[in-house]
Amino acid sequence: MIARVRAGEPEAYAELVRAHTAVALRAAVAFGAGADAEDVVQSAFLKAYQALGRFRDGAAFRPWLLRIVANETRNTVRSAGRLRALAGREALMLGPEPLIPESADPAVAAVAGERRGLLLAALGELSEEQRQVVTYRYLLEMDEAETAEALGCPRGTVKSRLKRALTKLEQLIGGRSTEGGEERE
């Protein structure tokens, strides 16, 4: 596909954009772009197109693109001076589905909402490196190799960062779920 884009086929790049827009939007939101997510993704696709000459033949496009999206998101958030990471991650996790599906038990939905809130608050307390590795690996459903490529680090680094991040999340969420004297399930 990349070879077709480099050969000047506009439809080939349009196919790449269509195939990766949803994950790019999720990544932008997860990294804190909030309401600017669509602008960030559009800018990232433009930068990716302009940088295709530097794209390594045989490399995976998705991790490369998501790295551009993450960098563009970081730049947008910094230049705007707004920190909306928590709200952005909440929007990502809520997705397009209703908060309480029609078939769900309201009590089950309330517990799920509370757990989601605990997770989002805990994610907000992780370092940027830890939050990125958890986001790539679990929220964007990338495997270790893709995560390593997107972060520009070895797989071993992904594993160690992920282990530290999950340990910290467990401590943070465990401490919050026992507040108030009784443990919640």
Q: Among the CATH numbers 2.60.40.10, 1.10.10.10, 2.40.50.420, 1.10.340.30, which is that of 97-185?
A: 1.10.10.10
Who has greater pLDDT, 60 or 94?
60
pLDDT tens digit string along 21-54?
Answer: 999 999 998 888 888 899 999 999 999 988 988 8
Q: Comparing 1-84 with 97-185, is the CATH topology the same?
A: no
Q: Decide if pLDDT at 96 tops 90.
A: no
Q: What is the pLDDT of residue 150?
A: 87
pLDDT tens digit string along 57-86?
Answer: 888 889 999 999 999 988 887 776 544 444
Q: What is the pLDDT of residue 23?
A: 93
- Give yes or no for a contact between 126 and 165, defined as CB atoms under 8 angstroms apart: yes
Q: What is the pLDDT of residue 39?
A: 93
Sequence spans of domains, the chain: 1-84, 97-185
Q: 1-84 sits in which CATH class?
A: mainly alpha
* CA 58 to the chain's CA centroid: 24
Share of the chain above pLDDT 90, in %: 28
Confidence band for 183, pLDDT divided at 50, 70 and 90:
very low
- Give yes or no for a contact between 67 and 150, defined as CB atoms under 8 angstroms apart: yes
DSSP string for residues in 44-74: HHHHHHHTGGGSPTTS-HHHHHHHHHHHHHH
Give me the chain's average pLDDT, please.
80
Q: What is the pLDDT of residue 5?
A: 80
Confidence band for 175, pLDDT divided at 50, 70 and 90:
low
Q: What is the pLDDT of residue 111?
A: 75
Confidence band for 184, pLDDT divided at 50, 70 and 90:
very low
Q: What is the pLDDT of residue 101?
A: 56
Question: Using CA atoms, how far apart are residues 125 and 118, in angstroms rounded to an integer?
Answer: 11
Q: What is the pLDDT of residue 36?
A: 87
